[in-house]
Amino acid sequence: MSDAVYPVPADFAAKAHINAEKYQEMYAASVNDPEAFWGEHGKRIDWIEPFTKVKDTNFKLGEVSIKWFEDGVLNVAANCIDRHLPTRGNQTAIIWEPDDPNDPALHITYNELSEKVNRFANVLLSQGVMRGDRVVIYLPMIPEAAYAMLACARIGAIHSIVFAGFSPDALANRINDSEAKLLITADTAPRGGRRTALKSNADQALLHCSDKVRCLVVKHTGDQTTWVDGRDVDVKALMETASPDCPPRPMNAEDPLFILYTSGSTGKPKGVVHSSGGYLVYAAMTHQYTFDYHEGDVYWCTADVGWVTGHSYIVYGPLANGGTTVMFEGVPTYPDAGRFWAVCEKHNVNQFYTAPTAIRALMGQGNEFVEKYDLSDLKLLGTVGEPINPEAWNWYNDVVGKGSRPIVDTWWQTETGGHMLTPLPGATALKPGSATKPFFGVQPVLLEPQTGEEIHDTAAEGVLAIKDSWPGQMRSVWGDHERFEKTYFADYHGYYFSGDGCRRDADGDYWITGRVDDVINVSGHRMGTAEVESALVAHAKVAEAAVVGYPHDIKGQGIYCYVTLMNGEEPSEELRKELRTWVRTEIGPIAAPDLIQWAPGLPKTRSGKIMRRILRKIAEDDFGALGDTSTLADPSVVDDLIENRMNR
């Protein structure tokens, strides 16, 4: 923690959309009369039929229902494209920066985007995709990913993007859970100079799916792939002959725009469902105000469209605002640790938004990689995905921002659709490590973890919950509304429970302390420990496994696994490697265990429940604070685990 405070620079405040006074005034209005506030701000997007009802939301367990602008009719793609054409048809909508810096970047204007998306939408129609059908997108960071998303939105199909780093198994699970009609993938995906065989992963996944699922393939690199006639379709070839005119389908505000699978504390990843109207209003408004985005700015979010950040802040938010958004195919360290800054210089980036894990990785490489480049166009920096430690914040501020660019530390979740706690750069004094204040319409509360009582003292610590709905809130879990209610509304009645712990300081600023459930955050990627455990126990030699997070210098958290082998199996370095590879193939490289400890036994209560609290403490090297172990069935297993803990 740090107690430094950085006041808003006066020149920034003078030009900003929102200054301190305006924030106070608008925030008060947004919570005192949400109907009036959102009724007004809901008009920031174009409606085919204007809404007459603004808000109809209920957090009561058993009756949870969230509707915004429910009788409004709109089309999301028309909002991101068509309405800009009269005024900014020739303005760049997307700057695409390829993995290899020697390949040319693309500048895609709104006119070009319109043509591509219309053609793509007609290809989808020609493949029999209809309103409400699910389309799974498994693409790298190429313009076709944005075309595919917007083409779905144009015809009212629901997209579900699966991060290209996920395994064939993970992909198949998501195709099956959403009962998708179509998969969109690419031949191969260059990243950091290497290529991932996406199509071959897709082929493997489709072996486990209905044979009715068709596969659109973007020939991106031109690498050789297998081809299944009758199932696989060359999307670029079809786009060439498709009509560049596909009327946007009028959609209801509450029609789902997309599903995005995310990890929770239990069970399989769940399909988070987002709406069309409320989601778009919220993504667009947060994008404009949090980043203080102005007409003509070049804005870059380094996330991947496989995560919610890519949805709201690479595609939907910036394009709804008629902005110029950078899409980057590569990685921060290729060809060297200066790539981010080279791209900022090359494209005159004004707002730059990344994850703390990337900052930590780059700060270790030396300042010369930053100092080589002219970053004078930068006006603002942002972070997302995990708490940022003060060292990383200070480096970002001093070396990248030259001490004069506000840093917005944005706390939000896949479930929230957009920023929830964040500074507004013209309004909010910054504190390294604090996501500071709520966005308009967001009513954060701290609850006493055991009793669920709301804590009213300003300076306090508790679990973070939200008192009332906001337009970007997820609407349900795909196919399982009960799970939606159970996950977010059952532990603390009447609130949306975030799963995060949080501290509020005497100024009313919020500091996220990390997850209070069995979700860990590895390099800003959210992972359910239960998923890694079930992958491990699926291995023939594993009897039991328990997975927890531990502090990791670069990744924020690393994956620590306690593994009990089947009777007769011998632990070995080789087996460790085998298990690591196993989890990579079961889930994907982002889930690969960092440390595997052989555990002859796991600490369990007499009723057989694994005591994760103890395992977490051992993994954190904090075994002075194990707490009460007397309820364990066999307290001696703890000594063995401590003695044989893994070195970090």
Q: How far apart, in Å, are the Cα atoms of 417 and each of 226, 303, 364?
A: 37, 15, 32
515 binds ligand WTA (CB under 6 A): yes
* 489 neighbors 496 (Cβ within 8 angstroms): yes
Residue holding tokens 């993007």?
A: 161
What are the tokens at 29? 């209005």
For residue 572, the one-letter residue type is: S
* 200 neighbors 164 (Cβ within 8 angstroms): no
In the set 137, 202, 375, 512, which binds ligand WTA (CB under 6 A)?
512
473 binds ligand WTA (CB under 6 A): no
Find residue 407's DSSP bridge partners.
381
Q: Which residues are annotated as a binding site for Mg(2+)?
A: 537, 539, 542
In the set 70, 329, 386, 485, which binds ligand WTA (CB under 6 A)?
386
Count of all residues that appear for the chain in the document: 648
For residue 564, the one-letter residue type is: T
Count of residues interacting with ligand WTA (CB under 6 A): 22
How far is 239 from 228, CA to CA, in rounded Å? Answer: 20
In the set 19, 389, 410, 529, which binds ligand WTA (CB under 6 A)?
410
In the set 384, 430, 447, 595, which binds ligand WTA (CB under 6 A)?
384
565 binds ligand WTA (CB under 6 A): no
Shortest reach from residue 301's CB to ligand WTA, in Å: 11
Q: Minimal CB distance to ligand WTA: which residue? A: 414
* Strand duo 525-528 + 519-522: pairing: antiparallel
In the set 190, 277, 322, 387, which binds ligand WTA (CB under 6 A)?
387
Phi, psi of 639 (to 5 degrees): -60, -40
Nearest to 250 by CA among 96, 73, 90, 424: 73
Q: Which stretch binds ligand WTA (CB under 6 A): 43-51, 315-323, 494-502, 530-538?
A: 494-502
Find residue 466's DSSP bridge partners.
444, 496
How far is 321 from 291, CA to CA, in rounded Å? Answer: 12
Q: Which residues are annotated as a binding site for CoA?
A: 191-194, 309, 523, 584
In the set 75, 173, 188, 262, which binds ligand WTA (CB under 6 A)?
262
Shortest reach from residue 521's CB to ligand WTA, in Å: 5
DSSP symbol at 590: G
In the set 435, 463, 474, 614, which binds ligand WTA (CB under 6 A)?
435
CB-based contacts of 249: which residues, under 8 Å, 6+ apart?
Answer: 75, 131, 154, 155, 156
For residue 385, the one-letter residue type is: G
Phi, psi of 369 (to 5 degrees): -70, -25
Quick one: 99 or 415, whose CB is closer to ligand WTA?
415
What is the contact mask toward ligand WTA in residues 59 to 98, using x (rule: CB under 6 A)?
A: ----------------------------------------
526 binds ligand WTA (CB under 6 A): yes
Q: Which residues are annotated as a binding site for ATP?
A: 385-387, 409-414, 500, 515, 526
According to CB under 6 A, which residues from 305 to 334 bind ligand WTA?
307-309
203 binds ligand WTA (CB under 6 A): no
Shortest reach from residue 556's CB to ligand WTA, in Å: 9
256 binds ligand WTA (CB under 6 A): no
Q: Which stretch binds ligand WTA (CB under 6 A): 380-388, 445-453, 562-570, 626-634?
A: 380-388
What are the tokens at 199? 């199509």
| Angle, alpha carbons 623-498-316 (nearest 5°) | 125
CB-based contacts of 441: which residues, under 8 Å, 6+ apart?
Answer: 30, 31, 34, 37, 38, 470, 471
Quick one: 182 or 527, whose CB is closer to ligand WTA?
527
385 binds ligand WTA (CB under 6 A): yes
According to CB under 6 A, which residues from 271 to 310 bind ligand WTA?
307-309
Which residues of this protein are in contact with ligand WTA, per CB under 6 A?
262, 307-309, 384-387, 409-414, 435, 498-500, 512, 515, 521, 526
